[in-house]
Structure 1
Amino acid sequence: MSDAKVLLLVEDEPLILWTLQEMLEFCGYVVIAATCGLDAVTILDSRHPEIAGVVTDVRLGVGPNGWEVSWRARELQPDIPVVYVSGDSAAEWPLYGVPKSTMVPKPYGTPQMLTAISSVLIGAPIRPL
């Protein structure tokens, strides 16, 4: 049995989803990918016990947005770590983001994303990057 952490990755832009998924898997995470908020909520409802963290874009097109995905995740697992990613919603994070989460503004580098994910997963102090 593997000790790899399972992350739910929610991103509606295929190239960004693929790139981030590849990076996370290369770093040893198991990634469950969703391309929209509705798929993410469905995955959370059925697989939340195995999911160690959520990485979600905020703007996901039609259906639930990233804020709503994280709210559902926290209903199911009150302490689940959340990393938000956005090109235009960073200023909304204090208003809509769940407690003990972090925001990574786009564009971001690999070190930024990995630092954000590891920080929320291990419970280190969180600050916007």
Structure 2
Amino acid sequence: MNAILVLLVEDEPMLLINAQDVLEDGGFEVVDASNGEDALRILEADVDKVAGLITDVRLGAGTSGWDVARRARELKPTMPVVYMTAESGEDWSAHGVPKSILVQKPFAPAQLLTAISTLINESATSL
């Protein structure tokens, strides 16, 4: 069985590595992007291969995690989306896509795995 591919978007290198390790240890295959523009390129190149999106909300200058998630949903309306943030949680209801999950930083590894697994399972059962 092939591993489920998720796109991980995080601009802090150590947080990216840590989250990638957590996801890979949990059985996922991970493609990563360190900014919103790279994430959009990955999605637009082959969105059908990506089973879920995990994105930091604040990605420095340029495209935000909110923007990446909205574009992912335009390309694939059932795309599971998990947001990670330290301080933008209060903006989730206004900027987040429906049926997404927000994980507050710092988080336990199990929180990230549970969030993306839950959404991927819900997406698969709704097809």
- TM-score if structure 1 supplies the norm length? 0.92
Q: Kindly, what percent of the aligned residue pairs are identical?
A: 47
* Alpha-carbon separation, structure 1, partners of 2:71 and 2:10: 16
2:5 is the counterpart of 1:6: yes
RMSD of Structure 2 on Structure 1 (CA)? 1.0
Match of 2:38 in 1: 39
Match of 1:71 in 2: 70
Match of 1:80 in 2: 79
* Alpha-carbon separation, structure 2, partners of 1:102 and 1:123: 12
Q: Where do 1:1-129 residues align within 5 Å?
A: 2-123=1-122
Give 2:58's aligned amino acid.
R
Work out whether residues 33 and 39 of structure 2, in 8 Å CA contact, stay in contact via their aligned partners in 1: yes
Q: How far apart are 1:3 and its partner, in Å?
A: 2.8
Unmatched runs of 5 consecutive residues or more in structure 1: 125-129
Bigger relative contact order (CA 8 A; separation at least 6): 2
* Alpha-carbon separation, structure 2, partners of 1:102 and 1:44: 19
Work out whether residues 22 and 113 of structure 2, in 8 Å CA contact, stay in contact via their aligned partners in 1: no
Give 1:66's aligned amino acid.
G
Aligned-partner SS, 1:123: helix
Work out whether residues 55 and 83 of structure 2, in 8 Å CA contact, stay in contact via their aligned partners in 1: yes
Unmatched runs of 5 consecutive residues or more in structure 2: none
| 1:31-81 alpha-carbon deviations (Å, 9 max, x no partner) | 000000000000000020100000000000011100000001001000100
Size of the alignment, in residue pairs? 123
Work out whether residues 7 and 32 of structure 2, in 8 Å CA contact, stay in contact via their aligned partners in 1: yes
